[in-house]
Amino acid sequence: MGRTSLCWVLLLLLGSSCGTSRKTLVAPKAIPMKDEARVEELSNAKLTTEPVAEVKSPLLQEAAAIKAEMTPEEKVAEQRRTGVNKNADWASAVHYDLRKPNFVIIHHTSQNSTAQTIRTFQVPHSKVSAHYVIGRDGQLVQMLNDYERGWHAGRSKWGTVTDINSVSIGIELDNNGREPFPDAQINTLLVLLETLKSKYLIPQLNFIGHGDIAPTRKDDPSVLFPWKRLAQKGFGIWYNEEFLVDPPATFNPIDALKIIGYDMSNPDAAIRAFKRKYIVTEVNGTLTTRDKAVLYDLYRKYY
Ligand SMILES: [Zn+2]
């Protein structure tokens, strides 16, 4: 926007004439024009690679009908406006970022259908939400703008980060916790992860599971989740099964788990989380010789 047109917009907003000397640079309560531009940019940058499939089942149609009145972009615009302190003068800064996600947390819903999950997230008392829900058939439903803070992680910790919701995108896979994850669902997930990784430059190490960040409370996604397949595509990590070697005597598995990110305040729970993901069989709190070799391989390769 040129100086003249900006001037005219300000004139309309402030009820003042351009060039009039003012006590402050810009009057209080002025609407930050640059925010509007950013919000529009955000709106235009909306996820495009995997359009939400047409809603088919009556339950899904019903759930879609209950969706919030405001679009995610409108909600962000509203937040930006209401975030202006009305007791302060406003002089718009030009250098800033919107909150950018840096982690992806993968969940399974423990529910029986996508529609049921969507209803749960839309019930006022549930106090839970996720950015994306992926159905068994591969249908992708977005429920929160990527820049908004979802309520999916709960009390959790990874490395030094304790407010995981503030830095992450939550993805819920429709799965009851005891069944395999169908190919259609994983294929949709992989496309979504690729989009998120390239759009927000999310590091490979930061694609993790709910059970990793809340080992005493959560066990999702289950042992049936294909972490190896994800790691082969660059989301999360895996070990070299062909060349496992015994770690040296100086290797401390508890320290290695802590360096990877696990909260070791309850070592038994953290080891369970590690084994659920990488060992799959015998998910317990004891590290066998092979488990330690797996841990050592991951530690050497990535940390
Ligand atoms: Zn979860």
**Residues written for the chain:** 303
pLDDT for the residue 61? 66
Q: 58-84+97-232 has which CATH code?
A: 3.40.80.10
CA atoms lying within 13 Å on the CB side of residue 233: 17
212 vs 85: CA distance, rounded Å: 38
Contacts of 30 (CB under 8 A, 6+ apart): 10, 13, 14, 90
Q: Which two tokens stand for residue 223?
A: 């042992």
d(CA 217, ligand 1 centre) in Å: 9
Active-site residue identified among 40, 73, 172, 242: 172
d(CA 208, ligand 1 centre) in Å: 11
213 vs 103: CA distance, rounded Å: 11
Q: pTM value?
A: 0.73
Contacts of 19 (CB under 8 A, 6+ apart): none
160 vs 166: CA distance, rounded Å: 13
H-helix or E-strand spanning residue 256: helix 253-260
Compute the C-alpha angle 93/161/229, nearest 5°.
105
d(CA 107, ligand 1 centre) in Å: 4
CA atoms lying within 13 Å on the CB side of residue 40: 5
Which residues, by Cβ under 5 Å, contact ligand 1, an ion?
A: 107, 210, 220
Whether 172 sits among the annotated catalytic residues: the reply is: yes
d(CA 78, ligand 1 centre) in Å: 29
pLDDT for the residue 33? 46
d(CA 212, ligand 1 centre) in Å: 10
pLDDT for the residue 56? 58
Contacts of 288 (CB under 8 A, 6+ apart): 282
pLDDT for the residue 78? 72
pLDDT for the residue 205? 98
d(CA 103, ligand 1 centre) in Å: 14
pLDDT for the residue 99? 73
d(CA 214, ligand 1 centre) in Å: 9
pLDDT for the residue 144? 93
pLDDT for the residue 195? 97
pLDDT in tens, the chain (303 residues): 444 444 444 444 443 333 333 334 444 444 444 455 554 554 454 444 444 455 556 666 665 555 557 777 777 677 667 777 777 787 777 777 667 899 999 999 999 999 999 999 999 999 999 999 999 999 999 999 999 999 999 999 999 999 999 999 999 999 999 999 999 999 999 999 999 999 999 999 999 999 999 999 999 999 999 999 999 999 999 999 999 999 999 999 999 999 999 999 999 999 999 999 999 999 999 999 999 999 999 999 999
pLDDT for the residue 38? 52
pLDDT for the residue 60? 63
* Annotated domain spans of the chain: 3-44, 58-84+97-232, 241-302
d(CA 129, ligand 1 centre) in Å: 10
d(CA 29, ligand 1 centre) in Å: 41
Distance from chain centroid for Cα 137: 21
Q: Which two tokens stand for residue 65?
A: 């009908």
